[in-house]
Amino acid sequence: MRFLKIKYLWLVLAFSAVVLVAAPVETLRIATWNVENLFDAEVDHEVPDSVNFTPDSWRRWTEAKYLSKLTNLAVVVSAMKPDVLCLEELENRKVIEDFVRILQTLPTNAVHYPYIAHKPSEDRRGISTGMISRYPITDTRIEFPVKGMRGALIVTLDIDGTEVIGIVNHWKSWVGEAKENIAIRTKEAIGVRHEALKLLERNPNLSLFIAGDFNDDLDGESLQHGLQAFADREKVLAGLTSNEIFFYNVLGELPKEKLGSYYYARRKAWNTFDAIILAPAMLRPVSEEGPAWRLPPKGEAVVETFKIPGMAGADGRPLAAHRTRLKDGTDKYVDGYSDHFPVFVDLKRALGRDVGTPGRQDVD
């Protein structure tokens, strides 16, 4: 009888081991979101603009409003469920950690992001970029193509045994003189392209994405002439055969009516400032040699400017969290989310090609 119990125990342990070594992860959802001034209600002396986000400041920013905004953002992310989320307009690393904790404690649909990437920027306001991930982050560094700006956050991830590198961006805004702003954004774009080309020279089959708030439309000067990123599959693929490296803006998968992620009130126009851009080899069919992660063929790719009910106002614009002055001279606080909608793309694993070693399948 004792022998049978031991034998049964070994069978249970063996079965458990098999369950833990699941099939490789086949879908990778990457998202980017400018979360619009994610500041807590305390002064961070390393971040100059933090003095404008306190209870005594003109914004009347309190801990309760901060927690409400974190919760609103978390509800969106828990519905979107990205595996990797790039974030823009952050005060510091602490607000990312607070956000991750809120995500873990949602009463329903909680999601877990145990890995964080963040580096301080050189921005005059002090705002920075970051990343949260369900998969391990093995390296984080930041480069500054233009001094005094927010920089390019370069993050290396281990996605189920495959190397994926993401470059998170938040380029120069439209505040100030237009010609100067375009020149700065273009210089940032050229610098990011230089970093991306160095990575691809080291590994032509690297799964590489460039994401963030570029403050430029998909046909803008900095993206097309600086980064050389296009929303045209045929152009990008043709470049591979002629030894020209063009990057692919996944917004090319969307019809025009679904493109807007930000409404620029001054020009009364929708913009496509938020984007995810892929290395060209990631467009190759999975039957060909290439990166571990690919964008599915046209018509099959999943790309979305994401929103949930209540996230937009009656006019369809993103509902931001901010204090506003009414016509009668009184103030009103809008308990919103951000002035941007997030964007995501689903990548598919090229099973059997440069896929690394299968590991444990993460679940929420």
C-alpha to C-alpha distance for 111 and 105, rounded to whole angstroms: 8
Q: Are 76 and 201 in contact (CB under 8 A)?
A: no
**Residue 339 belongs to a domain:** yes
pLDDT value at 304 more than 70: yes
Q: How many domains does the chain have?
A: 1
Q: What CATH number corresponds to the domain at position 216?
A: 3.60.10.10
pLDDT for the residue numbered 22: 66
Domain range spanning residue 113? Answer: 25-349
Q: Which tokens is 92 given?
A: 């510091």
**Residue 12 belongs to a domain:** no
Average pLDDT, the chain: 90
Contacts of residue 360, Cβ cutoff 8 Å, sequence gap at least 6: 20, 21, 22
**Residue 95 belongs to a domain:** yes
pLDDT value at 360 more than 60: no
pLDDT value at 278 more than 50: yes
pLDDT band at 143 (very low <50, low <70, confident <90, very high): very high
Give 326 or 192, the one with higher predicted confidence. Answer: 192
**Residue 1 belongs to a domain:** no
pLDDT value at 182 more than 80: yes
pLDDT for the residue numbered 21: 56
C-alpha to C-alpha distance for 317 and 310, rounded to whole angstroms: 11
| pLDDT tens-digit series, residues 52-109 | 999 999 999 999 999 999 999 999 999 999 999 999 999 999 999 999 999 999 999 9
pLDDT for the residue numbered 287: 85
C-alpha to C-alpha distance for 100 and 81, rounded to whole angstroms: 13
pLDDT band at 17 (very low <50, low <70, confident <90, very high): very low
Dihedral sign computed on CA atoms, order 299, 301, 304, 309: positive
pLDDT band at 359 (very low <50, low <70, confident <90, very high): very low
**Residue 285 belongs to a domain:** yes
